[in-house]
Chain A
Amino acid sequence: MEKKILELKKITKQFGGIKAATDVDLVVREGEIHGLIGPNGAGKTTIFKLITGLYSPTYGRVYLGGKDITRLPAHKRAQMGLSIKMQIPGVYEDLTLRENIRIAAQLYTGKKELEAEIDRLIKLVKIDDLGNPKVRNLSHGQQQWLEIAMSLASHPKVLLLDEPAAGMGPEETTFTAELVKDLNKQGLTIVFIEHDMDFVSLLAQNVTVLHYGKIFAEGDMEEIKNNKEVQKIYLGAV
């Protein structure tokens, strides 16, 4: 077994009377691609916000590489190697492609190496044919890939992807899946949220199913696929 890189222990988040996450335990191991799935409103994005520090938990703890990061602000967690691509592209629309990557990279790369680093990241996500347009003029898919490039700028230990293929056509989805696999092959641990089960089965080695803010099932892809209860909640029977 590889060592734990990201771990949630009994994480609970309460908004007034509503529990968005209840006693969630999650273990992500170094080098894996971990899928976080569940129907709408299952609490997936809440979990991501708890991991990145945009929310602080009502109780429970978050560990990154064995370190307790529960009380650390979001920017410290980012500097420690936790990176995220948000669901709605979190790019700076009024700036150019290269400026976007520059902003994401400047905290992690010396001034002299910045241009080379921007080139490296653009090549890494294979958008080097786009030139340097204003990001507003890029397609939805291109913005998503750009954001992945930006989230790689911090040389993260763990990359969180919130619906990386949302709003993409079949070709773009395949491209994205290949990209994620490539990054994983280079050693990056990836956790992603996805609705589309086909996309999940393309990628995930291990899967955690959330339902009403609780862990519903866990296991490798095959187990989850054949789990009758999981099939039921996806068809709305439970």
Chain B
Amino acid sequence: MKDKSKALLTSENIIFVVLLLLGLVLPTFTNAYRLSQYSYYYSMTILALSITLVWGYAGIFSFGQAAFMGLGAYIYGILSIAAGRDGFNIFALLIAVVIMMALGAALAYFMFYGGVNDVFVGLITMCFGIALQTFMGQTAGEEWQVLGVRLGGYNGLTGIPKISLFGFKLGDVAFYFFTFIILILVYAAIRYSKITNAGYSLTAIRENRSRSELFGFDVPKIQVIVFAISTGLAALAGVLYSVWGSYIAPDNLSMTQSTIPVVIVASGGRKNPTATVLFAILYYFLSGKLAASGSSLNYIILGAILIVVLLFIPEGLFSTLFSKMDKYILRRA
């Protein structure tokens, strides 16, 4: 029993509990506007976690997460605007995620059963994003309507409605908790999955694909499944983002938008969801402060951190810090 309680006292768990408590009490000492900013940070953290799963766990480098996120948001926007009933929107969210998982599975099927891997996956997903952004950008005309909703070209979709649960429209505080709970669930699932058979399958194919095949793992099938789940998570992040800002536009699908979460995950520690969450929330918090002063300094700082991390602590800033802290805790215990 004592051993068990000791095993729970890891730096990751401590950080998690601290973040959880901070997240729970935050609404009591901040105003509604600031609080809603956190809904945005949490959505983007879910996007970063989708990369932790597909890249950090399974070794599949996807550069298209922002595109999947954006497309998920478009689908939610179209469905919810077309339906025009608040009660339907939670289903619009689910439908968007499911459609995007199917799309992710289809894309992954052609890549992984076609033997495409490594850097080429990065290139294909990047091209997918660029093509999608370009396409959505030219949908300004009257003729570009889906279910009677105009796609709006570079202006994107505006007036995307809020989500309602049990007949109540989620206002700032409720939506804050909505995104917070989803983030916790996604984080917990990804973190727990690491020690399951599924998680070990991902580790196996990340570390050595052909060897794992010879141990009996159906490598392309595992790759398709994890890619589809990751696409679904990106879409979920996109829906939350579009509900938060009530709009989605082709700019959200850009290369820059796809790069930032990749850099966040790489800098924090790509195999470690706790590191990803911590780094993502800190980054978006700080960049929010910097953006308020009207500069792009956040990109420069993020880039500088990435270079330092990749040169000196390739496993990532926080995952390295966590393992150092754990050694310290073990020595003290």
Binding site for B on A (CB under 8 A): 52, 54, 73-75, 78-79, 83-84, 86, 90, 92-95, 99, 102-104, 106-108, 111, 150-151, 153-154
24 A-B Cβ contacts within 8 A?
Answer: A52-B214, A54-B213, A54-B214, A74-B213, A74-B214, A75-B214, A75-B219, A78-B215, A79-B216, A84-B214, A86-B211, A90-B214, A92-B203, A93-B207, A99-B200, A102-B200, A103-B201, A103-B204, A103-B215, A104-B215, A107-B215, A107-B216, A107-B217, A153-B215
CA distance in complex: A94, B213 (Å): 18
List, in ascending order, chain A residues with CB within 8 A of B212's CB.
103
Task: Indicate if B145 sits at the interface (CB-CB under 8 A).
Answer: no
CA distance in complex: A83, B217 (Å): 13
Task: Indicate if B293 sits at the interface (CB-CB under 8 A).
Answer: no
CB < 8 Å A-B pair total: 59
Task: Indicate if B208 sits at the interface (CB-CB under 8 A).
Answer: yes
* Pair B215/A54 contact, Cβ less than 8 Å: no
List, in ascending order, chain A residues with CB within 8 A of B216's CB.
75, 78-79, 107-108, 154
User: What's the minimum C-beta distance from A149 to chain B, rounded to whole angstroms?
Assistant: 12
* Pair B207/A95 contact, Cβ less than 8 Å: yes
Task: Indicate if B210 sits at the interface (CB-CB under 8 A).
Answer: yes
List, in ascending order, chain B residues with CB within 8 A of A106's CB.
197, 200-201
Most buried by B among A86, A90, A103: A103
Number of B positions contacting A (CB below 8 A): 17
Mark B181-202 against chain A: 1 for CB-CB distance below 8 A, else 0. Answer: 0000000000000000100110
Interface residue from A54, A75, A84 paired with B217 (Cβ < 8 Å):
A75
Interface residue from A52, A103, A108 paired with B203 (Cβ < 8 Å):
A103
CA distance in complex: A90, B208 (Å): 8
CA distance in complex: A102, B204 (Å): 10
List, in ascending order, chain B residues with CB within 8 A of A150's CB.
215
CA distance in complex: A78, B218 (Å): 10
A103 in contact with B214 given A75-B219, A90-B208, A92-B207 (CB within 8 Å):
no
* Pair B215/A154 contact, Cβ less than 8 Å: yes
CA distance in complex: A85, B217 (Å): 16
Interface residue from A90, A95, A111 paired with B211 (Cβ < 8 Å):
A90
CA distance in complex: A93, B204 (Å): 11
* Pair B197/A95 contact, Cβ less than 8 Å: no
Most buried by B among A54, A78, A93: A78
* Pair A95/B214 contact, Cβ less than 8 Å: no
CA distance in complex: A150, B216 (Å): 12
* Pair B200/A94 contact, Cβ less than 8 Å: no
CA distance in complex: A147, B54 (Å): 27
Most buried by B among A90, A108, A153: A90
* Pair B214/A78 contact, Cβ less than 8 Å: yes
User: What's the minimum C-beta distance from B316 to chain A, rounded to whole angstroms?
Assistant: 14
CA distance in complex: A104, B204 (Å): 9
* Pair B215/A95 contact, Cβ less than 8 Å: no
